[in-house]
Structure 1
Amino acid sequence: MSQQEFHGRIGRTYDESEPWWPEPTRASETAPNVLMVVLDDVGFGQLGCYGGLADTPNIDRLAENGLQYSNFHTTALCSPTRSCLLTGRNHHSNAMGGITEISTGFPGYNGHIPHENGFLSEVLGQQGYSTFAVGKWHLAPAESMSGAGPYDGWPLGRGFERYYGFLGGDTDQYTPSLVYDNHQVDPPATAAEGYHLTEDLAQRAIEFIGDAKQVDPDKPFFTYFCPGACHAPHQVPREWADKYAGEFDMGWDEARERILERQIELGVVPEGTELSPQNPDVRRWDTLSDDEQRLYARMMEVFAGFLEHTDAQVGKVLDYLEELGELENTLVVTVSDNGASAEGGPTGSVDENRFFNNVPESLEDNLEAMDELGGPNYFNHYPWGWTWAGNTPFQRWKRETHRGGASDPMVVSWPAGIDAAGEIRSQFVHAIDVVPTVLELLGVAAPDEIRGIAQSPIEGTSFAYTFDDPDAPERHTSQYFEMFAYRAVYHDGWRAVHPWPLGDEITAEDLSTTSLADSDWELYHVAEDFSEAHDVAADHPEKLLELVQLWWTEAGKYDVLPLDGRSVQRFVEERPEPGRPREQYVYYPGGQYVPVNAAVKVLNRSHSITADVTIPEGGAEGTLLAHGSRSGGYSLYVEDDRLRYVYNYVGVEEYDVVAETRVPEGEVSLRMEFEATGEADPAEGKGAPGTVRLYYDDEQVGEGTIPRTLPITMGLTAGLSCGRDALSTVTAAYRERVPFAFTGDIARVTVDVSGDAFVHPEAEMDRIMAQE
């Protein structure tokens, strides 16, 4: 290991020698702090300062003290955009052509962000900055997000010195799957005690900043603050949602008109902007029944409360910086990662795991849940009519390459460095432009190497030139877009879009193949038609051909090829997994819970669970193995001196099997055997039924029938834990005693899955994509 060159003098004795200390790397005395706030699934028309109908006073004050951008673009999807924001390279250059759970074995899609594409945290860490990441990550390969690692794609492996948040695409706001630095931790409180993730994340960001500033107040920080809101589940304390009671009774059609009117008044869209045409996937509000209108309006009230609550947590961080005297010299960049999300479907959802398992949600059932939406009992999401309104004035939504998916809010504030305040900037800007802008403002050159790894060129363009000149000609003049083989390209005020099939036009072939027909492209002159309301492809065939050819050129340059429209098959693509395939999985108490991507897969197959335990004198109780959440799963546990097995079917029904005799004291093997007795019918929302038998050593002590099981998935946030039920407890039987840890001694728990598993790839793909 090489050492820094010594500049003192070493003699035979101390008296003949001269000591020397290495100079610490320090940023300049005037270097600003950098705070990047990344919202999740917040559409162009949802923040107050962008005409939205929810109150966002803290982000609004950033806009009042800084600049709003009306022409900021993302990739239309979560992880790809976040990779752009942190590297300054395009998403395919980052191997993030999609989220990592649908990675494929090609350079633009394998989910491993190359280390030659250095993160802003890595660059600024070398410049004397403290670097903190708080909240959603979703940038590590899916197979690496367990205790087995590798950790080089986790935040601490990409230049952040401290991290607190969740690694996946979403999590429950009341029982989140938390990681602190490189290890899992439990939430510090429960929902009953008033816990909420977004509040926790804001407090942690404050703590990280304060810890550094109290020791070295002159050292600037880069804080990457990503609360995970307002991604589903839309969960917020009731008083925040109740504030909006009745505010959305007018419905999404009228909401779009009101939002556009406000946008024009605020100047975030040009005078004369029209609403994009009626979305064929969205029913008109006046065709809905009274009950549908009542339910859907409440779902939007909950979302609005969630958004305002999130804004309040951003405000806590801003207020703290103001107390420290740091806000004036903090560059704050606030963005959303993509357009508003349509993953709630046409009718909204109160528990996405029912949707993923093809278990229908009835209007009657959802009306019964209405008063508790936003609380810990539901994983709710609004219907896609509100998505469409949230992306006003554009077409479509998240995942798609029309502006509804790819045009998002961005607010930039730096009072000490930007003279303009409360102004709009309309130059084209993309997520890849944020890193070069920050580096220019800090006077930092993009490094040639990081940790000995030669760096690739930055692909974005600094937009610092827009700060002082609202009319400056835009410098980022061309940009490609691609998501699931649906494409778009921007060039000099024109935008060509290869559209997602709409409404009744969608076919099975559309969803599984790639159309290369250049005749399918649409053309919009966005310099004059801001909202993409008028397709002018027929009027300007030469311009369309020019843009389509440009798209193919850019695709070849940035690793976009091969195009892959296999939305279903991409999920079942073979990809690396943590560990070799095996028939027995052994788990131990006291360790980390195992994320869903790394846990044993028991659905629709015969299997057994054997816990080798020691029962002390007087007995023991608690969880042996739990897998899933309140939305579905199973638990093997001991209660009232009996071995018990419970199967939770999508949070709707629980099936219990209880041993007939007491668990003996001393060393004993407690076993559950599940024998599949029929075929799964995923299309009908039914997994394989089975017979469950319970054993103490080799003696059968109980038997029962499980008439239906989960056919497809335990859920997005379902983990497996040994010796306790770590997160959102599987069963109501011990929910009040979470985590219901086992009070005896567990040597090991072995899950045997010798039977063949059934996979339903199309439904599994829907599940994975909702994490983005």
Structure 2
Amino acid sequence: MRTPRSRLLPSLVAFAALLGAAAPASTADKRPNVVIILADDAALMDFGAYGGEARTPNIDALAGRGALFTQYRASPLCSPSRAMLLTGMDAHLTGIATIPEVLPKEQRGKPGYEMALEPGVLTLADRLRAQGYRTIMAGKWHMGEAASEMPQAHGFDRSFALAASGADNWDDRSYMPYYKDAPWFEDGVEASLPEDFYSSRFIVDKAIKYLAETDPAKPFFAYLPFQAIHIPVQAPRQFIDRYKGRYDQGWEVLRKARHQRAQALGLIPQGAPLAALPPDFRAWNSLSAQDRALYAARMEVNAAMLEAMDFHIGRLIQHLKASGQYENTIFIVSSDNGPEPSRGDDNAMLSVFQRLTGYHIGADNMGGPGSWGFIGPEWAAAAATPGAWFKFYATEGGIRVPLIMAGPGIAPRRVTSPAMITDIAPTVLEWLKVDPQASAGKPITGRSLMPVLSGAAESAYGPDDARAVEVSGNSALYLGDYKITRSVPPVGDGRWRLYNLARDPGETTDLSASAPAIMRRMLSEYAAYTKRVGVLEMPKGYDSMVQVNRNVGARLLSNYPWLYGVLGGFLLTFVALIWLALRGIRVLMRRRTAQ
């Protein structure tokens, strides 16, 4: 009996697939895979390999078999860092010079400030897909809000992407009033989250699923930007319980401990002064016993969230080992900026939003569903040690972050060469022997670190090569051992300062008055940088937190239009009360005059 052709065709396809799976290894594409893992708001010393308290054995194992960078800088905010990471270009040249939450109206829509990748800007996914790679991503995107601006428009075959700056880690909902919901997109189409969602687990699940659904004959590029440890800080209870009591002594003790470990690990020179504190830093002992317990618990959740991320990274590593792909995979692990200083208990609009959405900031179920976790500025400054300050600012605590590279041909080593986040893309391309000029996109501005990784050079930068970064007025420029930096309000004062980082990595002693010639040269280099990449001046009197409140307030009313009626009612009531009071005063004065 003959088999019908309709049944024969699927059988032949399946047989061909089996033949392909059993094909000799010599016919397989031998080019390395690439996995980029990006933590959100992790400080230089947060991973165990850098001396952190959280258990991160999988990240530490990658550091142990690869290159651990100690002088690597990102930008002070997430979107610019992500744009530079994926494109190898300065953020102003990509269209994402800052984040929309802090963007003033004077810059809105200007070149470099479109808040989405501009035409001609190619990502690593664009470039590698053109070379035959399959390209996947899962996690936070935050480089555009429209469906047409999601990863599928920038070289990714499969993607599950969060368009916002963050979102809840347990539920399908927003974490701040700027966003009405959590804007997740799968392959450019709005998507919902599963009932059992937890962000770090979900990101790895999606990556493994996408790898199974794409052509196994091709090497892959996987981009995994995690939500850990962005606010709201949330983690499974089994991880939180491991850190009980770990932070009970407070942030001053953690600062000193990390400063000592930084010296012992060679992250800073022996005897380097402790980093300067930001203004209005609260003393641990000034808090009530109840508040100290609350803040210690928040930091426990923060460490647990890091460990949970590492645990799920371990699941991906085990999957790659089981499928025989681990040894031929390049791993890059980093963070987008320093730790998050924002509080969840000192902003009226955020309090209104928390009430509207059912969030709480108390001790009950800390880190679980419904808990809006944060660590605040004091823990952020302590975590950022040995650097000064934290996220938002181009101080060392805001932009000096970890970088680990491991993979074929990379020997275990400590790398002290300067490196910038724009250097990752050109490094990957050279590693894979891909000519950046092979694609017709805008030119890459970063430098390949391969000469350093291979041992052919001590540094990718010479003593006269300036490196600069600017985000919403917060600026830094490096030249040799020196750095100039400027921080805008509310924490900064807008003044330029000069530091010798070789002796003073904590930025404690301003040399601008004692070394005017160096200061002038570096300011000149910075002026040339701003002209070259198109930095716009900040409006007079710009304060990033004031701008955030303006932008968030406008979005809050847009997201919840019925608040107009509520606020209008309050305003009318207030005006009526004032009118009645004034009328009563006038009547009383007339009576007194009549008497």
Q: Give the alignment of 1:481-520 within 5 angstroms.
A: 481-501=469-489, 520=495
| 1:560 paired residue number | 535
2:152 paired residue number:
156
Higher strand share: 1
* 3-state secondary structure, aligned to 1:229: coil
How many Å separate the matches in 2 of 1:275 and 1:526? 12
- Cα distance in 1 for partners of 2:517, 2:488 equals 23
Task: Calculate the aligned-residue CA RMSD, in Å.
Answer: 3.0
Task: Please give the per-residue CA displacement for 1:355-391, whole angstroms capped at 9, x wherever unaligned.
Answer: 77899xxxxx95xx31311011221211211101111
Offset at residue 566 of structure 1 (A)? 5.5
Residue 515 of structure 2 corresponds to: 540
Q: Kindly state the Cα deviation for residue 603 of structure 1 after the two structures are TM-superposed.
A: 4.0
Task: State the SS of the aligned residue for 2:138.
Answer: strand
Residue of 116, 136, 141 corresponding to 2:140: 136
Which residue does the alignment assign to 1:185? 191
Give the 3 Å change call, closer, same or farther, for CA 448–326 of structure 1 in structure 2: closer
- Secondary structure of the equivalent of 2:459? coil
What is the aligned counterpart of 1:119 among 105, 113, 123? 123
Is residue 679 from structure 1 mapped to residue 567 from structure 2 by the alignment?
no
Cα distance between partner residues in 2 of 1:543 and 1:432: 25
Q: Residue 165 of structure 1 corresponds to which residue in structure 2?
A: 161
Which residue of structure 1 lines up, in the alignment, with residue 418 of structure 2? 428
1:675 and 1:233 mapped to 2: Cα distance? 27
Residue identity matched to 2:208: I
| Corresponding position of 1:649 | none
**Partner secondary structure for residue 94 of structure 2:** coil
- Relative to structure 1, is the Cα distance of residues 569 and 170 closer, same or farther in structure 2, using a 3 angstrom cutoff? closer
Q: Write out per-residue CA displacement over residues 515-561 of structure 1, whole angstroms, 9 at most, x where no aligned residue.
A: 5xxxx311111133223232222221110111111111100100102
Aligned partners of 1:500, 1:86: CA distance in 2, in Å? 27
The equivalent of 1:224 in structure 2 is: 223
Distance 1:341 1:293 in 2: 19
Would you say 1:446 and 2:452 are equivalent positions?
no
SS of equivalent residue, structure 1 residue 138: coil
Query: Which of 353, 358, 362 is the aligned partner of 2:350?
Result: 353
Shift of 1:105: 2.7
The Cα shift of 1:478 comes to 1.5
Q: Which 5+ residue runs of structure 1 have no aligned equivalent?
A: 1-25, 360-364, 578-595, 607-673, 689-772
Structure 1 residue 448 displacement after superposition: 5.0
C-alpha distance in 2 between matches for 1:171 and 1:309: 17
Change (3 A) 1:675 1:395: closer
- Displacement after TM superposition at 1:502 (Å): 6.8
**Secondary structure at 2:190's aligned position in 1?**
strand
Q: CA deviation at 1:75?
A: 1.2
Matched residue, 1:417: 409
1:106 equivalent in structure 2: 110
Alpha-carbon contact 1:27-1:129 (below 8 Å) kept = no
When structure 1 is superposed on structure 2, of 195-204 and 279-288 the one drifting more is: 279-288
Note if 1:80 corresponds to 2:80. yes
- How far does residue 676 in structure 1 lie from its aligned partner after superposition? 5.2
| Cα distance between partner residues in 2 of 1:376 and 1:479 | 42
Give the secondary-structure state (helix, strand or coil) at the position aligned to 1:49: helix
Any conservation in 2 of the 1:100–1:110 contact (CA below 8 Å)?
no
Which residue, out of 389, 400, 403, partners 1:396? 389
State the Cα distance separating 1:273 from its structure 2 match: 3.1
Q: Give the 5 Å matches for 1:599-618.
A: 601-606=560-565
> Partners in 1 of 2:120 and 2:535 — Cα distance?
18
Q: Which of 1 and 2 has higher RCO (CA within 8 Å, sep 6+)?
A: 2
- Of the three residues 549, 562, 565, the one matched with 2:524 is 549
Give the C-alpha shift of residue 106 in structure 1.
1.7
Q: 1:462 aligns with which of 433, 448, 462?
A: 448
SS in 2 for 1:37: strand
Deviation at 1:285, TM superposition (A): 1.7
**Tell me, what secondary structure is at the counterpart of 1:460?**
coil
Distance in structure 1 (CA, Å) of the matches to 2:41 and 2:287: 25
Cα distance in 2 between the residues matched to 1:239 and 1:63: 25
Q: 1:124 to 1:379 in 2, by over 3 A?
A: same
Distance 1:550 1:289, change over 3 A: same
Counterpart position of 1:766: none
Percent identical across equivalent pairs? 29
1:439 to 1:570, Cα distance in 2 relative to 1, 3 A: same
Aligned match of 1:253? 252
Contact in 1 for aligned 2:275/2:505 (Cα 8 Å)? no
d(CA) in 2 for partners of 1:479, 1:338? 17
Q: From the superposition, tell whether residues 545 and 358 of structure 1 become closer, same or farther in structure 2 (CA, over 3 Å).
A: farther
In the aligned structure 2, how far is the partner of 1:334 from the partner of 1:497? 26
CA distance in 2, matches of 1:261, 1:355: 41
**Residue 238 of structure 2 aligns with which residue?**
239
Cross-structure match for 2:273:
274
Match in the other structure for 2:378 = 385
CA, structure 1 residues 460+189, in 2 after alignment: closer, same or farther (shift >3 Å)? Answer: same
For residues 335 and 355 of structure 1, do their structure 2 counterparts lie closer, same or farther at Cα, with a shift above 3 Å needed? farther
Task: Map Cα deviations across residues 640-675 of structure 1 (whole Å, 9 max, x no partner).
Answer: xxxxxxxxxxxxxxxxxxxxxxxxxxxxxxxxxx89
Cα deviations by residue, 1:223-267 (Å, 9 ceiling, x for unpaired): 000121110111111121111010101111111121222233333
Structure 2 counterpart of 1:548, which letter?
A: L
Whether contact under 8 Å (2:151, 2:161) holds in the other structure is no
2: CA distance, partners of 1:394 / 1:239: 31
Is 1:30 aligned to 2:22, yes or no?
Answer: no
SS at match of 1:224: strand
Partner SS, residue 495 of structure 1: strand
Corresponding residue for residue 22 of structure 2: none
Unaligned runs of 5+ in 2: 1-25, 173-181, 577-595
Partners of 2:298 and 2:385 lie apart in 1 by 18
**Counterpart code for 1:304:** A
8 Å contact kept, 1:329–1:417: no
| 1:239/1:388 CA distance change after superposition, 3 Å | same
Aligned length: 527
**Contact preservation (8 Å) 1:92, 1:108:** yes
Q: 1:71 to 1:356 in 2, by over 3 A?
A: farther
Q: What's the offset of the Cα at 1:279? A: 3.1
8 Å contact kept, 1:348–1:382: no
Cα contact 2:448–2:460 (8 A) shared by 1: no
Letter in 2 for 1:179: F
Structure 1 distance, partners of 2:351, 2:549, is 19
Match of 1:200 among 195, 199, 202: 202
Distance 1:317 1:27 in 2: 26
Q: Give the conservation status (yes or no) of the 8 Å contact 2:475–2:486.
A: yes
CA distance in 2, matches of 1:342, 1:198: 22
Q: Decide whether aligned partners of structure 1 residues 165 and 108 sit closer, same or farther in structure 2, where only a CA change above 3 A counts.
A: closer
Report if the CA contact (8 A) 1:39-1:226 is conserved: yes
Deviation at 1:598, TM superposition (A): 12
Measure, in 2, the Cα distance between the counterparts of 1:78 and 1:307.
17
CA displacement at 1:469 relative to structure 2: 3.0
CA distance in structure 1 between the aligned counterparts of 2:268 and 2:333, rounded to whole angstroms? 19
Deviation string, structure 1 residues 201-242 (Cα, Å, up to 9, x no partner): 111111112333xx53x4110000012111011111112111
Q: In structure 2, what is the Cα distance between the partners aligned to 1:303 and 1:179?
A: 27
Classify 1:322/1:267 alpha carbon distance in 2 versus 1 (closer, same or farther; 3 Å): farther
3-state DSSP of counterpart to 2:382: helix
Deviations 1:181-205 (A, max 9, x none): 1222322224xxxx31211111111
Asked if 2 retains the 8 angstrom alpha-carbon contact of 1:58 and 1:315, the reply is: yes
Show the counterpart of 1:373.
366
Cα deviation per residue 1:11-42 (whole Å; 9 max; x = unaligned)?
xxxxxxxxxxxxxxx99933110000011011
Q: Which residue of 1 aligns with 2:319?
A: 320
Alignment correspondent of 1:407: 400
The amino acid across from 1:542 in the alignment is A
Q: Which residue of 2 aligns with 1:46?
A: 46
TM-score normalised by L of structure 1: 0.64
Amino acid at match of 1:464: M
Instruction: Report how far residue 597 of structure 1 moved.
Output: 8.9
Q: TM-score, normalised by structure 2?
A: 0.82
Distance 1:572 1:353, change over 3 A: closer
